Amino acid sequence: QQSTSVLQHQPFSSTIDIGFWSELSTLKLDTLRLDDSARSIWGSYECGSRSSATGAKFLVGSESLDPNAQTSARFVRAPGTITVVNTVEAFKELDKKKIIEELGAEILDAIDNGAAIEDPSLMARWAMITFSNLKTYCHYYWLAFPAVSLPIPAVVSPPVPLSARLSPDQQAQLHAAYKAVCGSRPPGAGALGHFLLTLR
């Protein structure tokens, strides 16, 4: 009998590129001003064997505020929201627990209505709260990465070769489908992070 273990989510180890703060300062001065409503942002993460015990690397880059910017082929793009508050007091007083709960509810809604099947990146939604003192160049930030918690913990079995689970015909179908999905992605879309597989 194969041994199983409880599925655990690998934590992200976040990195904020120094160029991001320059772009954010420009956005704050020229566009946002006192507007502290949430805006779209994107980050990217690296997964696989390169991920260390400290967690998968999550990057907020200088281009993360530009929805049309390209993503490195080594990284998976993740959609998120950023809220830029106007005072350090507002940053400290924000209800961060509520933000996590609301973000988690969005992920569950995407699962329930099928949006996460069409766009699996919605499963990796995240949020950023920040305050920047533009006079002293002192930046405060907080990142949230909600994870789905199941009523009954999911278990995983040790990895096995595809040939032990899929017939030669199924392997050929998987290869063709994966190649087609990757080929249909626009340049600069980043790596294909995760997808659903239905066996027939």
Q: Are 182 and 192 in contact (CB under 8 A)?
A: yes
Mean pLDDT of 158-187: 90
Question: In this model, does residue 114 exceed pLDDT 60?
Answer: yes
Q: How far, in Å, are 14, 45, 60, 145, 159 from residue 50 at the CA level?
A: 15, 11, 18, 20, 17
Q: What is the CATH number of domain 5-184?
A: 3.40.140.70
Domain boundaries, the chain: 5-184
Q: Which residues pair with 6 in a beta bridge?
A: 155
Overall pTM surpassing 0.95 (yes/no)? no
Mean pLDDT of 100-120: 92
Closest CA to 43 of 166, 125, 120, 164: 125
- Strands 76-84, 138-144: pairing is unpaired
- What mean pLDDT, rounded, does the chain reach? 89
Mean pLDDT of 129-151: 92
Question: In this model, does residue 82 exceed pLDDT 80?
Answer: yes
- What residue spans of the chain are helical by DSSP H? 18-27, 88-93, 96-112, 115-118, 168-184
The least confident of 56-65, 97-106, 141-150, 179-188 is: 179-188
